[in-house]
Amino acid sequence: MSFSIAIHGGAGTILRSEIQPEEEARIRAGLAHALEQGRAVLRAGGAALDAVQAAVMALEDDPCFNAGRGAVFNDAGFVELEAAAMDGATRAAGTVTGLRRVRNPVCAAREVMRRTPHVTLGFEAAERFAEACGLPLEDAAYFHTDKRWAALQQELARIAAGGDASQASEQVKHG
């Protein structure tokens, strides 16, 4: 029986005029790499759940994308990461929100599914749970990218000047 996999790295106003050729090449390479991480699991007969986790981990590690290492900043100037995983065969699901130090939030979501009777854990308790599961934690500098920090400053200035927070440009909102 055959296998299929798809990934995304975000959607929004991605103006051709705004993306430099070398940046687009990095993004395409990052997508291709992440896809292959998941496809390798499927090719080896692995489970769909393991395949999607492997692909998302690769995207979280890539600063090109708004997750994990390349995450955008909230209005207080720090990252708050969230992730989810769901197994269609059993409808088991695990999700996390409000994480600030977990390197791969999708792994924390998987541990919630695997080790707790709950679906969602959030904020400090979720961070302590992830640490207790032995998942790698990083300090704030790991998640800092100049591009996202500049986007935050731009957005905060726009809001301070009376702009409507819900009307930010897609590119600024979603990185």
Q: Could you tell me the two tokens for 102?
A: 């977990």
CA dihedral 28, 31, 142, 133 (to 10 degrees): 180
68 binds another protein (CB under 8 A): yes
Q: With CB under 8 A, what is the number of residues at the site for another protein? A: 89
Site mask for another protein (CB under 8 A), range 75-114, x = bound: xx-xxxxxxxxxxxx-x-x-xxxx-----xxx--x-----
133 binds another protein (CB under 8 A): no
136 binds another protein (CB under 8 A): no
How far apart, in whole angstroms, are the C-alpha atoms of residue 27 and residue 41?
Answer: 22
How far apart, in whole angstroms, are the C-alpha atoms of residue 126 and residue 56?
Answer: 19
63 binds another protein (CB under 8 A): no
Nearer to another protein, 45 or 162 (CB): 45
60 binds another protein (CB under 8 A): yes
CA 5 to chain CA mean position, Å:
18
How far apart, in whole angstroms, are the C-alpha atoms of residue 112 and residue 121?
Answer: 7
Per CB under 8 A, contacts with another protein among 22-51 are 24, 27-28, 31-32, 34-36, 38-39, 42-43, 45-49, 51
71 binds another protein (CB under 8 A): yes
Q: Are 104 and 61 in contact (CB under 8 A)?
A: yes
